[in-house]
Every structure is written in structure tokens, then in C-alpha cells.
Amino acid sequence: MMLAAVSGLLSVAFGAFGAHGVSDPKAQEWLKTGAGYQAIHALATLACALFIAQGARGARFAPALFLGGTVLFSGSLYLMALGAPRWLGAVTPLGGLGFMAGWLVLAWSARTLRQDD
């Protein structure tokens, strides 16, 4: 949960930097996209705690996929916005795959939730 909170904090910081700290439109776009995806997946990581508390034990694997996806997806966009070589954009889809895998794990684990009658 601490990593999810830090990830949420960083998403706000990078989003604000994109809105107010850079003038290059492409860099602004990369920062906005990275921050948006990071914010969504920080919240999803927090939501995993609810799934786990409700009995969806498989959900414990989703946070690592969400946070790893954030490092690859958002991190590569942030680095390019800060001047890293554009070939780093080849890493971005790997982060997207991490996000999708996390959602798949979460969906699969939801089928084990306890049902109250």
C-alpha cells in the first residue's frame, strides 16, 4: 500500500510538471499520458487490498504487475520527456502488457470472491 501511495504521489508530481514545467508539446503529452496511467494503476493497486480482504487470494499478484507496468510504461515516457533517447519508447508497450496482465489476474481472482446470499 505504501508503494501505491508513493506511485500516486509521483503521478501528481509528473502530471504537474507536464502541465507547468515543460514547454515542448511532445514532452507534455508524454508526461500527461504517463501520469494518467500511473494514477489509475496506483488506485488499482490499492483496490487489490480490498479484493484480497474479500478472499480473492490470486489478487496478491496484481500489484506487482501494476507497479512493474508503471515503472516500464510511465517511467519510459517520463525519461523520454526529460531527454532520454526515443528508442526507450520500445519499452513502453512492455509496461502496457504488465498493466493488462495485472487486470487479467484481478479479473481471474475475482471469480473466487465470497458471495453473500
At residue 112, the pLDDT reads 79
Count of structural domains, the chain: 1
117, pLDDT greater than 50? no
The mean per-residue pLDDT over the stretch 75-97 comes to 97
When pLDDT is cut at 50, 70 and 90, the band that residue 115 belongs to is: low
Domain of residue 65 covers: 2-110
Decide if 116 is inside a domain: no
pTM for the model stands at 0.92
Give the number of other CB atoms < 10 A from CB of residue 96.
13
Contact 113, 56 (CB under 8 A): yes
Does residue 37 sit within a domain?
A: yes
Burial of 4 (0-12, 13-18, 19+ CB in 10 A): buried
User: Does 117 fall in a domain?
Assistant: no
- Amino acid making up residue 60: R
